[in-house]
Structure 1
């Protein structure tokens, strides 16, 4: 059975009407809304139950569980929000299943996770936890586990790759570019991201986007900004050294420029969201007929546009490419648009006939996508990836 069939079987049982399926989705969302304010306690309960019922799973996680708990909850929220969107949810779950192979996840671990998840939600739902709610969550988790496990079992490629740090350049106190040479080229698509494990933070993985398109020599360039409470990002910026060995997980994400599309392209990037944009533009330069592309690069000040010079230089040699800098606070910045990326991009119009890609922090993505939808940009024209934080 394929992951698509599993999803259909779980959310739309044979004989179940569209109305009944919608009811299941509503039950999941409304019950999640009740426990969401207590996500910290829910996360602790989940892992305590998991490690009690399946103690062998403890070795799959870092010593410090704070970051891991937040990742679990972000993933849960994402799945809950997409549970009635199988065309979006299934590819996400398949990528997640392939990615989890790097942890050494076994078939029986899915059962332990399901038990812990249902226990955690039930414990914090109180009287709202009814047989109907339990059934909806059990089926929803069956969808998640089924799609992930099916994809993981079907994957024949490596669970992870080794890479050696061959370059580390500090661009500021909180920013660095790090170049990694992998043991063999990773078959990723420009715009995708990978997870990395470093010697400074063993078993604590961080998602990073390569700033270059795939190359035969296996070189990967990463842009890393140290974020508040970012255990991994701060260690990477301050303490990565040439010669360090990284472990790199399978590529994930849906950011790409469809080669079959005839539409012009709009790219919007904030902060280190510049990295996947650079990879996408490098990939476009290899195409015989790149689409007309406009790129808005934004930051609070001009200094935040740390790689603008390289992108502007690229535009000089490619007539199909325009780069527009955007700054929020630096009114003296000559040649830049002023305001937030959401303000400036929608000031230019609805972009309804463009393929749109948005890269940056979760808050920047939310603000920009929301404003574009209000301005009239069709949702199915916008691509973005949600997991961009430490």
Structure 2
């Protein structure tokens, strides 16, 4: 796709989205057109559409920002195509989505902006996206979905639960990737979770889940998950990971359950003969949010290349937290805990010019930390994180 085509697509979309409430109106219009003109696709979507609308817009923006970077965009689209097999999506469904999206943008752009050249540009862009996803799905030989049976549920905090599942067959994924999951009580509401352990040949997988206020799926997982429940899991997604031949040192920054993909990578690295130096900052609001320090301490004891620095915004735990009884094992290899906002704390160390950086956590935490690091001199090209949707 040439730069002129990319510019026409971006300009049209941004002109529509820039209007007051434009993004939300566009999403509502898209789904109205899709469900009216292609009613057969409605069954692929959940009854509650708010989260779905938000996710669609973020995915569109993510793709548009990378139209001139096919080496990044096409592998991501291929992953999405493989993942979308879990819905039973066929080639005609991609055509329905593309046609409806183009129609919605055209309606909001107006006849003055929507020229024949713009029309052709959108056709070309949407065709590349659809063809990439369809092609990847058709070539894939792994299961459309995996079934996982809950074999352990452990409540770590009142709003944080660790869930272990036994898959019906092993799943190959790179440590640091994430998967979509569907739980029995929330049909068609797929949510992304990062495995907290590397891929296991016996098919066990572990997730760390924090209940989000108002969250349909996360709250149900934390409050209702029981041993014996059966989940569905889609194909692995994401580009985080540490290649075996990496030479540069690493900086990892994780908050809350965002530590899961970083933890999985550290466990995978611990099985290698040699690794670069890694400095991990693990953060939370309160000390109790650093729920996995014992595991990280064990990793640091066994691996001299790993340094772990805890960071919390407050020194005290909330009133409702009760420390477990019994002796606590010392964690001598951890750096002293620092009080402060994690992005500000990490940026205060400097530009980390000799490091490749990974950030994992909530979208707001990732964005804030990334901006603080860039302000401190860290190059944007050295910072990686998963798409924020």
**Corresponding residue for residue 220 of structure 1:** 205
Aligned with 1:311 (options 276, 296, 304): 296
Contact kept? 1:35, 1:125, Cα under 8 Å: no
Q: Secondary structure of 1:314's match?
A: helix
User: Which residue of the partner structure matches residue 361 of structure 2?
Assistant: 360
* Equivalence map 1:1-390=2 (5 Å): 11-12=1-2, 18=3, 20-21=4-5, 23-24=7-8, 26-28=10-12, 30-34=14-18, 37-126=21-110, 129-131=113-115, 132-330=117-315, 335-387=336-388
Give me the TM-score of the superposition, normalised by structure 2: 0.90
Q: Is the 8 A contact 2:17 2:26 kept in 1?
A: no
Query: For structure 2, which runs of at least 5 residues remain unmatched after alignment?
Result: 318-334
TM-superposed CA distance for 1:158, in Å, is 1.1
Report the Cα distance in structure 2 between the residues aligned to 1:137 and 1:369, rounded to whole angstroms: 31
In 2: Cα distance, 1:36 partner to 1:268 partner: 35
Rounded to whole Å, the distance in 2 between the matches of 1:331 and 1:175 is 18
Q: Deviations over 1:97-155 (max 9, x none)?
A: 11111111111111110111112222233455421433333322222112111211221
SS in 2 for 1:316: helix
CA separation of 1:250 and 1:36: change in aligned 2, threshold 3 A: farther
Q: Greater shift after overlay, 85-94 or 159-168?
A: 85-94
CA distance in 2: counterparts of 1:119 and 1:77, whole angstroms: 17
Q: What SS does structure 1 have at the residue aligned with 2:18?
A: helix
Aligned-residue offset at 1:41: 2.6
Paired residues of 2:153 and 2:227 also in contact (CA < 8 A) = yes
**Mind listing any 5+ residue stretches in structure 1 that lack a counterpart?**
1-10, 13-17
Q: State whether residues 27 and 136 of structure 1, in contact with CA within 8 Å, keep that contact through their aligned partners in structure 2.
A: no
- For the 8 Å contact 2:16–2:23, the answer to whether it is kept is no
Name the SS for the 2:24 alignment partner.
helix
Q: Is the 8 A contact 2:6 2:67 kept in 1?
A: no
SS in 2 for 1:124: helix
- State how many pairs are aligned: 372
* Distance 1:100-1:35 versus aligned 2 partners, 3 A rule: farther
Secondary structure of the residue aligned to 1:202 is: coil
Judge conservation of contact 2:6–2:68 (CA < 8 Å) in 1: yes
Q: TM-score, normalised by structure 1?
A: 0.90
Checking the alignment, whether the CA contact within 8 Å between 2:17 and 2:23 is kept in structure 1 is no
For 2:188, what is the secondary structure of its paired residue? Answer: strand
Which secondary structure does the structure 2 equivalent of 1:204 belong to? Answer: coil
